[in-house]
Amino acid sequence: MPFKPADNPKCPKCGKSVYAAEEKVAGGFKFHKMCFKCGMCNKMLDSTNCAEHEGELYCKNCHARKYGPKGYGFGGGAGCLSMDTGEHLAGYVGEGARAPMEPRAIAKAPEGEGCPRCGGFVYAAEQMLARGRGWHKECFKCGDCSKRLDSVRVCEGPDKDIYCKACYGKKFGPKGYGYGQGAGALQSDASLYTNGDGRDGEYLANKKNTLNDVAKIQAPKGQGCPRCGGCVYAAEQVLAKGREWHRKCFKCRDCTKQLDSMLACDGPDKDVYCKTCYGKKFGPHGYGFGGGAGFLQTDGLTDEEISSMRPFYNPDTTSIKANPGQGCPRCGGAVFAAEQQLAKGTMWHKKCFNCCDCHRPLDSMLACDGPDKEIYCRACYGKKFGPKGFGYGFAPTLVSTSGESTCQLGFLRSLCKCCSNDARPTHGLKAQGGKGCPRCGFEVYAAEQMISKNRIWHKRCFGCKDCGRSLDSTNLNDGPDDDIYCRGCYGRNFGPKGCGFGIGAGTLTMA
């Protein structure tokens, strides 16, 4: 059986078959996209302004002209109606015909003032800027391939013309093997060197020597590339330290490594280096900087050169004496901001800020200010000014200066309540004006103080008045007699008594 193609619907306007890729539907008919236009004014239509009548398409205005109401008396009166029937559009060829525009006559401008390509006047509504001059939109295209350009794709050539990026690279960019990442990243236009006699390699070698010479066009002194002195154009410029470099010249001065904006370091000699060479030449050298010699570079430097570059350091903190009472409390030297350490309102040298007894280096977390205006580590402060002997807290935490064990004494204290007062100080200076510990009356220092109802106690005295139980902030009760109690003793002394309080006598105590 012979092949019979499927029947396709016909366009009512041209009578030809309409396929799915180009069909437009209106009034149950299928039209070509180019036939989907008004039958009177030839205006191109879409689904929002289309009106169909007996297989013919109209725009809404022409449909109203031809088939809409006319004359006096309809709706709001003749003032709202139109008598136009569209007869004046009988021979009209609208924009749907897509007729080509006639070439326009361009007024010529004086020499050097008009469009660089056609020489005509350029007005503000159609101008495009390049090389400081205005171009017509129609003339703003590549000088080789005539590709339309814009401000992003335009490249200004040294011959005062404009090009697309591809044509600019072919005409003025680097050629041949070995530039940047190798020949794979370069343009080597075959039309430049295929001459049919097989001498392609020789021609490329000649082109490499001529076109790749960035210093061929020399710039005025102080304006070109800092390395070769040649003119730098926009398509190949790299900026560093406010100056323009050729991309080919933008490499490390010492190791000639190719650089970019992330790897380049501007040296004090107005040249560029990679980070490694910059560190070798201008970075810190020798032992002792930062974390030690393991973090430094000393390549190619002698011991004399390293010593000459090392800053002078004088370890003597007393070389500059301060006024009496204003310097470091230990050595008396002047303390400057870069080395000061603060303790009890006085400034110390970082070198002098160590324990008075064991000379351990201290910081703001380890230092304890003693009553003798010296500083100690916590262990030495506890030995010198802390509680001694029997009965303080748990005996294994105590230090016995006489050499005897404190474990047995702590056990005996837990058996005998009458010995609890032995842990309190019995000698030394009493605090003046009632400012000391309310229980023993002696001075309270910062390392051992406990606070209750705005009063300061020794940690060893901070116990219940009745049972002697050691207290803290979770079980402390301040009594009306300005003393402190545990919860049980506070309830027995000051809590409610007798029958009928709360939910019955069973919840009360008569102790």
Q: What is the pLDDT of residue 402?
A: 54
DSSP run (H or E) holding 31:
strand 29-32
Per DSSP, the residues of 407-449 read HHHHHHHHH-GGGGGGGS--SSPBPSTT-S-TTT-B---GGGE
Mean pLDDT per 10-residue section of the chain, whose length is 511 residues: 71 86 85 88 86 86 84 54 66 47 66 86 85 86 90 87 91 68 49 46 48 77 87 86 86 90 87 89 64 52 65 72 89 88 86 91 89 90 80 47 48 43 61 82 85 86 90 89 91 80 54 54
Structure tokens at 507: 């919840």
Distance CA(148)–CA(151), nearest Å, equals: 11
How many beta carbons lie within 10 A of that of residue 18, not counting itself?
21
Name which of 425, 411, 433 is nearest 458 in CA terms: 425
What are φ and ψ of residue 214, in 5° steps? -75, -15
Distance CA(112)–CA(138), nearest Å, equals: 19
Q: What is the pLDDT of residue 400?
A: 52
**Domains located in the chain, CATH noted:** 23-67 (2.10.110.10), 127-170 (2.10.110.10), 240-283 (2.10.110.10), 319-385 (2.10.110.10), 449-494 (2.10.110.10)
Distance CA(355)–CA(329), nearest Å, equals: 13
Q: What is the pLDDT of residue 163?
A: 92
Return the CA Rg of the chain. 50
Could you tell me if 109 and 99 are in contact, meaning their C-beta atoms sit under 8 angstroms apart? no
pTM, to two decimals: 0.24
